[in-house]
């Protein structure tokens, strides 16, 4: 099933927050992303319906196996692209913003080539 860019961003945010705390709720996602509570609530409903997250009775969000796999993939793209742009001399804030825009549209083939290139020519 195709995932929209916004869905990927929500999953990535849940993944980032879950690495910092075992308890992630919609309010945490809302505050982190700067989105309204109703927008986040709607997105969580869609992610739950599509099988990417579960939510318990108290509102705590957990990534499913599929959700975590996709979130890790997006997060890896974000971190690798940010590092690449910084290696090219771009400041960290701009590099991270540009990586966030590109990570959702880059083909797996191109991303794999970027990773291989960076591994081969990594700045020590």
Domain identity same for 79 and 112 = yes
- Considering only the C-alpha atoms of the chain, give the largest distance between any 2 of them, rounded to a whole number of Å: 49
Tokens of 123: 């700045």
13 and 60 in a single domain? The answer is yes
CATH number of the domain encompassing residue 86 = 1.10.60.10
Rounded to 10 degrees, the C-alpha dihedral 30/31/36/41 comes to 20
Domain extent for 23: 5-69
How much is the pTM? 0.84
What is the total count of domains within the chain?
2
What are the pLDDT tens digits along the chain (124 aa)?
Answer: 456 778 899 999 999 999 998 889 999 999 999 999 999 999 999 999 999 999 999 999 999 999 999 999 999 999 999 999 999 999 999 999 999 889 888 999 999 999 999 888 875 4
Domain CATH number, residue 14:
1.10.10.10
Please indicate, yes or no, whether residues 93 and 64 belong to a single structural domain of this protein: no
Query: What is the C-alpha separation between 96 and 105, in angstroms, rounded?
Result: 15
- State CA 13 to chain mean position distance: 5
**pLDDT value at residue 1:** 45
């Amino acid at each position: 099933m195709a995932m929209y860019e916004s869905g990927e961003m929500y999953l990535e945010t849940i993944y980032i927050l879950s690495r910092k705390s075992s308890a992630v709720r919609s309010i945490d996602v809302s505050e982190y992303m700067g989105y309204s509570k109703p927008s986040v609530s709607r997105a969580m409903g869609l992610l739950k319906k599509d099988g990417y997250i579960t939510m318990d009775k108290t509102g705590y969000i957990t990534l499913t196996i599929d959700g975590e796999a996709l979130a890790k993939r997006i997060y890896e793209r974000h971190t690798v692209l940010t590092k690449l742009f910084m290696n090219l001399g771009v400041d960290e804030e701009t590099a991270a913003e540009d990586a966030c825009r590109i990570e959702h549209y880059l083909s797996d083939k191109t991303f794999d080539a970027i990773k291989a290139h960076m591994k081969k020519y990594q700045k020590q």
